[in-house]
Amino acid sequence: MKAHRTTARTHDTAAPGALGLRLSYAGIGIFMAFTWIGEGDAPAWDHALRTLAILLLLPPVLLRTNRRLLHNLYEAARPAPVIAQLITARLVIITAAFGASNLLGHLLDPHAARSPVMPAVGLLILLLSIPVQIRRAHRLRARDIHPSARPDLSAPRVMLAKLALVAAALLTQLLLGAYVDGATFVAAAAIAITTAALGPRVHHRLLVSGNPTVTREPVGDGV
C-alpha cells in the first residue's frame, strides 16, 4: 500500500450520487421513525422529548467525530485500524444517544411497560450496517479529494431541520390522537416518508463548504 502526501488544489467537489442520496435519507427516515416508536403508546410529548434528546446529542458529536476520523483515514498508510476506530466510534455514539433517550423515557414515566423489541431491532440494524460502513470507508479513501475540502453537513442546520420535523410529527400525533388509533405509528410513518421525500431536495442547504481542495499523490510504499 502506498503512503500519500497532500497538495492543495482548487476545484469543485463532486456531489453524491442521486440514488445514494435518496437511499441515505430513506435510511435516516426509518431510523427516526424507529426512534419515535420506541416507547409505544406513550404520550406524544414523550416521543418528542426522547427524539429531541437524541437530536441534541447525536449530530454535534457524531458529525465532528466522523469528520476527524475520515480525515485520519484519508491520510493513514494502513486504513484498517482507522476504519475500526471510525465504526466503533459511530456505534458507541449512537448507542449512547439511544441509551440517554431510553433513560429519559424511564424518568418521565418509571412505571410504563416497555418492550425490548425496538431496542433490539435498532441494535441489529446497527450491526448489519457494519459491512456497508466498511465499504463506504474504502470508497471515500479512494477519492482524490481530501475530506477537509468536501462540503460537509452542518450540525446546527441538521438539528434545525430535524427539530422542524419533530415539531410537525408532534403536532400530527396530537391532532390525530383523539380520532385515530395508533396515531404514534402514523406520526412515525410521516417522519419516514417526509425525510425520504424532502431530504434529497434540501440536502444542499444542510451543507457547509470545505476548504480549497486537497488532493494526494503517492510518495512511496507504506508498511
CB-based contact 215:14 (threshold 8 Å): no
Local confidence band at 192 (pLDDT 50, 70, 90 cut-offs)? very high
What's the pLDDT score for residue 13?
Answer: 37
Residue 139 pLDDT > 80, yes or no?
Answer: yes
The pLDDT score that the predictor gives to residue 102 is 80
User: Would the pLDDT of 216 be above 60?
Assistant: no
Contact between residue 176 and residue 183 where contact means Cβ atoms under 8 Å apart: yes
Q: Please give the pLDDT value at position 220.
A: 37
Task: Tell me the whole-structure pTM to 2 decimals.
Answer: 0.71
- Residues 27-82 pLDDT 10s: 888 888 887 887 566 777 877 888 888 888 888 898 889 889 988 988 888 889 99
Q: What would the grid cell of residue 188 be?
A: 412515525
Which of 9, 28, 21, 1 minimizes the C-alpha distance to 148?
9
Indicate the DSSP class of residue 220: E
